[in-house]
Amino acid sequence: MTEQYDAIIVGAGAAGCTAARTLAEKHGRKVLVIDRRNHIAGNCYDTEDQHGVLIHQYGPHIFHTNDDQVYAFLSRFTKWRTFEHEVVANIHGVLVPVPFNLNTLHMVFPEDKAAEIEKRLVARFGMESRVPILTLIEDSDELLKEVGQYVYENIYLHYTMKQWGKKPEEIDPAVTARVPVVITRRNSYFPTDRYQGVPLQGFTAMFAAMLDHPGITTRLGEEAADLLSFEDNVIRLKETGEPYKGTVIFTGALDELFGCRFGRLPYRTLRFDFEYYEKDTYQGHKVVNYTVSEDYTRITEYKLLTGQSCLGTTISKEYPAAYTGAPGEIPYYAINNGENQALYEKYRALAGAYGNLRLLGRLAEYRYYNIDLMVRKAAEAADEIADLTGGDI
């Protein structure tokens, strides 16, 4: 009987798995985790394809953090394949490191000019600094202005138009301002994060180990609506009609929980076209961003990401589009602006009327989280819920 559980967690991704483990192990709660999909790990799900290549079904995921506690927590459930993540961009057929750094500078500008620009960048901003391109574009130094304009047009503008479905005039200058030029000779995509890599046996295996606890029951292929009804500010169990006395942690799309009664929250979705090649490597890089040409935004070659040794190689091409809620579509990225946030707040107000409902995660909170921040937030949320419902058992 569902009523025997102290908490029901909707969603078996990073948020749900972390909250479940914390509640069960640290606070002695009996937890039920459900997920509408037929697998755990959410969008971090990885699995072998028909050729035996370990792929990330929903696009590449790399764990990176400076948070010692989060790293230690996850390391209880996995060993790591550590590496400094590097990404290149295909600019008119030339592969260059991104974010734009001193190595990129010397690849796209004539050597004499690049040397002079490097000298001025270092003198003005110092080595290892991150300079927003808007700062360079607005600089009085024509050479620095040229660098900022190059990055804007060749690395940022067209990529952003594809990713978010926007025209140039619709792109928020405040977002542009955050795009950096990094004054370094390191090609790291996350240059400030001490821990970088992927779980050695995969993300799915890591989350499976997290859910492997006597206080946790996991059921797949089940929707929240299969078990619970949300009516008149009371969460009821479908099987008995009685109010549910435990805590519900909801990590799914909040608008869909309430039947999209105010309209759909806008998201961007992604389509992944997977291709297999009978060759050792397709592109020689884990990830190649296509910032100018092509309809897709990037190509990921998974064996280079996971370190798997196998015959052949599988890639995915990534095509962004507007999320419509059609079967098979997945909402990936919230489109954050004032209008959409106001719509989200209407749904959050509905949720707030249910005293034992907790919203957690990218979809439920309509915001983006990296894995490390999501794990920390989920563990803290579980602690808060335990405190509010009587402390440890």
- Residue 10 sits in a domain whose CATH number is 3.40.50.720
Which is it for strands 357-359 and 80-82: parallel, antiparallel or unpaired?
Answer: unpaired
Q: Is there a contact between 368 and 4 (Cβ–Cβ < 8 Å)?
A: no
Residue 169 per-residue DSSP state: G
Q: What percent of the chain has pLDDT over 90?
A: 93
With respect to residue 299, please indicate whether it lies within any of the assigned structural domains.
no
Nearest one of 37, 15, 61, 12 to 223, comparing CA atoms = 37
pLDDT for position 170: 82
**Whether residue 64 sits in one domain with residue 92:** no
Whether residue 389 has pLDDT greater than 80: yes
**Mean pLDDT, residues 246-257 taken together:** 98
With respect to residue 323, please indicate whether it lies within any of the assigned structural domains.
no
Interval 180-238: pLDDT, tens: 999 999 999 998 899 999 999 999 999 999 999 999 999 999 999 999 999 999 999 99
**Whether residue 134 sits in one domain with residue 238:** no
**Whether residue 145 sits in one domain with residue 211:** no
**Whether residue 160 sits in one domain with residue 40:** no
Counting DSSP H helices and E strands in the chain, the numbers are: 16, 21
Residue 242 per-residue DSSP state: P
3-state secondary structure of 341: helix
**Whether residue 38 sits in one domain with residue 173:** no
Cα 133–Cα 136–Cα 141 angle in degrees, nearest 5:
165
pLDDT for position 171: 76
**Whether residue 241 sits in one domain with residue 92:** no
pLDDT for position 14: 98
**Whether residue 234 sits in one domain with residue 94:** no
Omega within 30 of 0 (cis) for the link into 99: yes
Give Cα separations from 353 to 226, 231, 235, 348, 380 (angstroms): 21, 10, 10, 9, 22
Please list, residue by residue across 26-42, b when 16 or more beta carbons sit within 10 angstroms of its beta carbon and e when fewer do: ebebbbbbbbebebbbb
Last residue of a domain, one of 182, 212, 239: 182
Q: Is there a contact between 215 and 30 (Cβ–Cβ < 8 Å)?
A: yes
Q: How far apart are CA 30 and CA 32, in angstroms?
A: 7
Interval 88-127: pLDDT, tens: 999 999 999 999 999 999 999 999 999 999 999 999 999 9
Query: Tokens 């755990």 correspond to what residue?
Result: 40
Segments in the chain forming alpha helices (H):
14-21, 27, 68-75, 102-108, 111-125, 133-137, 142-151, 158-164, 173-176, 203-211, 224-227, 254-257, 302-306, 338-352, 362-365, 371-388
**Whether residue 376 sits in one domain with residue 250:** yes
φ/ψ bin of 83: left (φ > 0), alpha (ψ from -120 to 50), beta (otherwise) = beta
Last residue of a domain, one of 182, 217, 232: 182
Nearest one of 19, 4, 7, 6 to 374, comparing CA atoms = 19
**How many domains are there within the chain?**
2
**Whether residue 160 sits in one domain with residue 41:** no
- Farthest-apart Cα atoms in the chain, separation: 77
pLDDT for position 174: 66
Nearest one of 345, 185, 343, 251 to 44, comparing CA atoms = 251
With respect to residue 245, please indicate whether it lies within any of the assigned structural domains.
yes
**Whether residue 26 sits in one domain with residue 73:** yes
With respect to residue 21, please indicate whether it lies within any of the assigned structural domains.
yes
Q: What percent of the chain has pLDDT over 70?
A: 99
**Whether residue 147 sits in one domain with residue 105:** yes
With respect to residue 138, please indicate whether it lies within any of the assigned structural domains.
yes
3-state secondary structure of 143: helix
Q: Which residues pair with 358 in a beta bridge?
A: 249
Whether residue 129 has pLDDT greater than 70: yes
**Whether residue 16 sits in one domain with residue 95:** no
Which is it for strands 31-35 and 7-10: parallel, antiparallel or unpaired?
Answer: parallel
Tell me how far apart the terminal alpha carbons of the chain are, to the nearest angstrom: 20
Interval 131-182: pLDDT, tens: 999 999 999 999 999 999 999 999 999 999 999 998 877 877 766 667 899 9
With respect to residue 75, please indicate whether it lies within any of the assigned structural domains.
yes
What residues make up the domain containing 140? 87-182
Q: How far apart are CA 51 and CA 278, in angstroms?
A: 10
pLDDT for position 392: 81
Q: How far apart are CA 17 and CA 208, in angstroms?
A: 9
With respect to residue 114, please indicate whether it lies within any of the assigned structural domains.
yes
pLDDT for position 344: 98
Last residue of a domain, one of 182, 207, 225: 182
Q: Is there a contact between 133 and 156 (Cβ–Cβ < 8 Å)?
A: yes
Whether residue 1 has pLDDT greater than 80: no
With respect to residue 52, please indicate whether it lies within any of the assigned structural domains.
yes
**Mean pLDDT, residues 302-331 taken together:** 97
As a whole number, the mean pLDDT across the chain is 95
